[in-house]
């Protein structure tokens, strides 16, 4: 297999700086890989709102700079570092997700909570990600892609899909319960509606605009509530859920307001699953009502290797389908503009041309 010396990649050199499309970005060669590393030829990468947070630098964490973003990458292993022990082989189809590596040896890793490992390494944040044609990643955290699953479909599952599947598993719900998805027309949300419906939950969608309303209703929402036009969003949500509020709410929008509303409209014993990551925000929970109404607040951060395999399996079985627009790698800046304005429905997947 020939590995070129240079490749196409999108990089940024400073927080909030311009995105630069390069065709001469260096490719790490097979002999330069360290034990445990693999070189993956990336054909497709989904664009997650997290990539936009990384560019803006609006989280209380520093990104590596300069940086190639991206963490929904799909491709083929083209080289594995000498001295690596693994069942993966050159030619295997794999995905690179947000969690590029963790130690697999500490308490949280042993418990399958590897995203919170103190040695966790994130793709498109601490190491160069998937907005390039050849990415170096850690072989033990690569996700096998089921045979027959279209790479365009696999991309969005690697972050958006696994994250919402995990969030739903943490929602303390049973089949037949109402689950509210905030940001339901976006990348995470439109997949959350489908995972919820697939396991017998009754999804209620909150987002804005006619296009997202139509999308959410087609994907299994029982009701769509437009957060911009609703006169009283909490009353509308209660009205859509037998007057009592949903059993759980997955907040998959990067809106701080969505969090505080949830604590008011949730049913008693309801669970708020925090997923979206608005900058500089707090969840304001009234202690009395949190206790008196027995509410739960749960943070949910991506998923582990098993969650990723489960999430992809729903897609491979046709139970979950990402609604995707495919665009060239060099259009990343436009994608972010749309995301910022809230005009992206479903997910955008970049084709790298590799």
Binding stretches for ligand NAD (CB under 6 A): 48-50, 53, 159-160, 163, 182-183, 185-189, 206-208, 212, 227, 252-255, 257-258, 275-277, 300-302, 339, 342, 344
Q: Of all helices (H) and strands (E), which one includes residue 263?
A: helix 256-265
Give the integer Cα–Cα distance in Å for 289 and 266. Answer: 11
Choose the contact partner of 122 out of ligand NAD, Zn ion, none; CB within 5 to 8 A by kind.
Answer: none
Report the 10 Å Cβ neighbour count for 229: 10
Choose the contact partner of 207 out of ligand NAD, Zn ion, none; CB within 5 to 8 A by kind.
Answer: ligand NAD
Rounded to a whole number of angstroms, the CA Rg of the chain reads 20
Contacts of 317 (CB under 8 A, 6+ apart): none
Choose the contact partner of 95 out of ligand NAD, Zn ion, none; CB within 5 to 8 A by kind.
Answer: none
Choose the contact partner of 188 out of Zn ion, ligand NAD, none; CB within 5 to 8 A by kind.
Answer: ligand NAD
**Shorter beta-carbon distance to Zn ion: residue 117 or 159:** 159
Report if residue 45 touches Zn ion, rule: CB under 5 A.
Answer: no
Report if residue 48 touches Zn ion, rule: CB under 5 A.
Answer: yes
Residues paired with 83 in a beta bridge: none
Stretch that binds Zn ion, among 40-48, 124-132, 143-151, 240-248 (CB under 5 A): 40-48
Q: Of all helices (H) and strands (E), which one includes residue 76?
A: strand 73-80
Among 7, 50, 133, 253, contact with Zn ion (rule: CB under 5 A):
50
Give the integer Cα–Cα distance in Å for 238 and 267. Answer: 9
| Strand residues in 129-176 grouped as ranges (E) | 134-138, 143-144
Give the integer Cα–Cα distance in Å for 170 and 191. Answer: 16
What is the SS3 assignment for 85?
coil
**Least CB distance from residue 48 to Zn ion, whole Å?**
3
Choose the contact partner of 245 out of ligand NAD, Zn ion, none; CB within 5 to 8 A by kind.
Answer: none
**Least CB distance from residue 30 to ligand NAD, whole Å?**
32
Choose the contact partner of 348 out of Zn ion, ligand NAD, none; CB within 5 to 8 A by kind.
Answer: none
Give the integer Cα–Cα distance in Å for 88 and 84. Answer: 10
Report if residue 159 touches Zn ion, rule: CB under 5 A.
Answer: yes
Q: Of all helices (H) and strands (E), which one includes residue 207?
A: strand 202-207
Choose the contact partner of 342 out of ligand NAD, Zn ion, none; CB within 5 to 8 A by kind.
Answer: ligand NAD
**Least CB distance from residue 187 to Zn ion, whole Å?**
8
**Shorter beta-carbon distance to ligand NAD: residue 75 or 186:** 186
**Least CB distance from residue 12 to ligand NAD, whole Å?**
17
**Shorter beta-carbon distance to ligand NAD: residue 77 or 258:** 258
Angle at which helices 162-169 and 187-198 pack, to 10 degrees? 50
Q: Which residue is nearest to ligand NAD (CB)?
A: 186
Residues paired with 11 in a beta bridge: 20
What is the SS3 assignment for 92?
coil
**Shorter beta-carbon distance to Zn ion: residue 204 or 251:** 251
Q: How far, in whole angstroms, is CA 220 from its chain's centroid?
A: 20
Q: Write out the residues near Zn ion by the rule CB under 5 A.
A: 48, 50, 159
């Amino acid at each position: 297999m020939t590995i070129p010396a240079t490749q196409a990649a999108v990089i940024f050199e400073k927080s909030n700086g311009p995105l630069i499309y390069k065709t001469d970005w260096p490719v790490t060669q097979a002999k330069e890989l360290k034990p445990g590393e693999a070189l993956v030829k990336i054909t497709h990468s989904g664009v997650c709102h997290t990539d936009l947070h990384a560019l803006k630098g609006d989280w209380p964490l520093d990104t590596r700079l300069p940086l190639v973003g991206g963490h929904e990458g799909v491709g083929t292993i083209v080289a594995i570092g000498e001295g690596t022990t693994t069942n993966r082989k050159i030619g295997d189809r794999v995905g690179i997700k947000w969690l590029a590596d963790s130690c697999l040896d500490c308490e949280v890793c042993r418990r399958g909570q590897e995203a919170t490992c103190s040695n966790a390494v994130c793709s498109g944040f601490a190491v160069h990600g998937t907005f390039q044609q050849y990415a170096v990643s850690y072989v033990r955290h690569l996700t096998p892609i089921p045979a027959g699953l279209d790479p365009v479909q696999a991309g969005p599952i690697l972050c958006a899909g696994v994250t919402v599947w995990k969030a739903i598993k943490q929602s303390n719900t049973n089949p037949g319960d109402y689950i509210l998805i905030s940001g339901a027309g976006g990348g995470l949300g439109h997949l959350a509606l489908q995972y919820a419906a697939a396991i017998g939950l009754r999804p209620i969608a909150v987002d804005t605009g006619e296009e997202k309303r139509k999308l959410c209703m087609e994907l299994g929402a029982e009701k769509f509530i437009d957060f911009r036009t609703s006169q009283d969003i909490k009353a509308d949500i209660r009205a859509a859920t037998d007057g009592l509020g949903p059993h759980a709410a997955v907040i998959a929008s990067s809106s701080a307001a969505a969090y505080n509303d949830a604590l008011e409209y949730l049913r008693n014993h309801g669970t708020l699953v925090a997923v979206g990551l608005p900058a500089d925000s707090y969840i304001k929970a009234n202690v009395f009502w949190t206790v008196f109404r027995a509410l739960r607040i749960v943070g949910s951060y991506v998923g582990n290797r098993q969650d990723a395999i489960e999430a992809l399996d729903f897609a491979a079985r046709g139970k979950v389908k990402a609604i995707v627009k495919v665009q060239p790698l060099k259009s990343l800046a436009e994608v972010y503009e749309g995301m910022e304005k809230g005009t992206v429905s479903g997910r955008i997947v970049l084709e790298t041309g590799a």
